[in-house]
Structure 1
Amino acid sequence: MDCNQLLESIEDYLSEASPEEVDVLSSILEGLKGKKHGEYRSYISALTMDRRRFLDNGDYEVRLPIQPLIYNPLNFVHGGITATLLDTAMGSFVNQSLPEHLAAVTTEMKVNYLKPGTGKELICIASIIHKGTSFYVCEAKVYNDKNKLIASGSGSFFIIKRN
């Protein structure tokens, strides 16, 4: 699809879009601009507009605004997005803990869904519970903006050399 076809498609979409659909498209475009300008390292982070930081206690936090783009048909956060948030927080923490010539990939992950993802944002806090030479093990918890536990998870991450 060339630029003119894309613009026509967007104009066609917007001509019949609801206010929510306009907001979703606007959010997607803002995320893509952020990716282009280096605010996000991946397209999934750009689309979900996550924010990341290390906490004073050494844990790692990823915050995800709740928006219609990530809803399931029941109008709360899709379970796959919650799992992605857990994986992102744990995997990013491990990757940032490694020397530059190494990387980590998820080899196993367990998720326990406890409550529907509702509110203004999801906050995932990850901790590393084992640092080995060939794999790391992490735990993480997802809370909503009212500090209610939404999900918990654990994951194993295999250490590889970067290409």
Structure 2
Amino acid sequence: MKNKLEKLLKEYVEQATETDVKALLHVLKGMKNKLEGHSSTYIGGILHYEKNPEETVWEVNIPINPVLFNSLGIVHGGITATLVDSAMGTLANNLVPEGYGAVTSQLNVHYLAPGIGDGLRCRAEVAHQGKNTMVISAEVFRTDGKKAAQATGSFFIVEKKVSSGE
């Protein structure tokens, strides 16, 4: 398996532009973050999440890199949605009782401005917390301060299943 990876990387680097190399380095550094335990998920590692938690507010920052771009050279809307869902979902999961988790049941994202600049910052806060559901709102800002997206998410609160190990 390592030989295949080495061959693929060699071929990639030989053909890559400077932008291609920058994108690959971004992904590889993110994977390394996951391996070293700096991120609990691959997506968090690849996006280089920087988390700034408070009790009822959760902020996540990501650097903008060409690997995140759509064909127009701006951050892909799906990346913005992933940032929003991750910030809101992490906040929701930090607020549920032990033995429970929160899963997204609905996500609404309103894109207001293109994702450009050096990074994006998502700020999520609880709008409603019930026994079985939670609603969280979020805003995404560019580094120039302009709001790039406004979102809400609904979350089901579910009991975590204990694995039997089989």
Structure 2 residue aligned with 1:124: 122
Q: Could you tell me how far 1:25 is from its partner in structure 2?
A: 1.0
From 68, 73, 76, the equivalent of 1:75 is: 73
Report the TM-score when normalising by structure 2: 0.93
Note if 1:32 corresponds to 2:37: no
Note if 1:17 corresponds to 2:11: no
- The runs of 5 or more residues in structure 2 that have no matched partner are 162-166
- TM-align CA RMSD: 1.1
Q: Take 1:147 and 1:27, find their aligned partners in 2: how far apart are those partners? A: 24
Structure 2 residue aligned with 1:148: 146
Q: Take 1:14 and 1:150, find their aligned partners in 2: how far apart are those partners? A: 33
Report the TM-score when normalising by structure 1: 0.95
Q: Percent identity?
A: 37
Contact 2:56-2:126 at 8 Å conserved across structures = no
Q: Take 2:137 and 2:7, find their aligned partners in 1: how far apart are those partners? A: 46
Trace 1:23-102 onto structure 2 (pairs within 5 A): 23-55=22-54, 58-102=56-100
**Following superposition, which runs of at least 4 residues in structure 1 exceed 2 angstroms of deviation?**
none
Q: Take 1:160 and 1:78, find their aligned partners in 2: how far apart are those partners? A: 31
Q: Could you tell me how far 1:122 is from its partner in structure 2?
A: 0.4
Q: Take 1:48 and 1:144, find their aligned partners in 2: how far apart are those partners? A: 15
Q: Could you tell me how far 1:99 is from its partner in structure 2?
A: 2.5
Aligned length: 161
Q: Take 2:63 and 2:97, find their aligned partners in 1: how far apart are those partners? A: 30
Q: Take 1:91 and 1:125, find their aligned partners in 2: how far apart are those partners? A: 12
Q: Could you tell me how far 1:75 is from its partner in structure 2?
A: 0.5
Q: Take 1:133 and 1:73, find their aligned partners in 2: how far apart are those partners? A: 43
Q: Take 1:162 and 1:40, find their aligned partners in 2: how far apart are those partners? A: 21
Q: Could you tell me how far 1:5 is from its partner in structure 2?
A: 1.2
Q: Take 1:109 and 1:18, find their aligned partners in 2: how far apart are those partners? A: 36
- The runs of 5 or more residues in structure 1 that have no matched partner are none
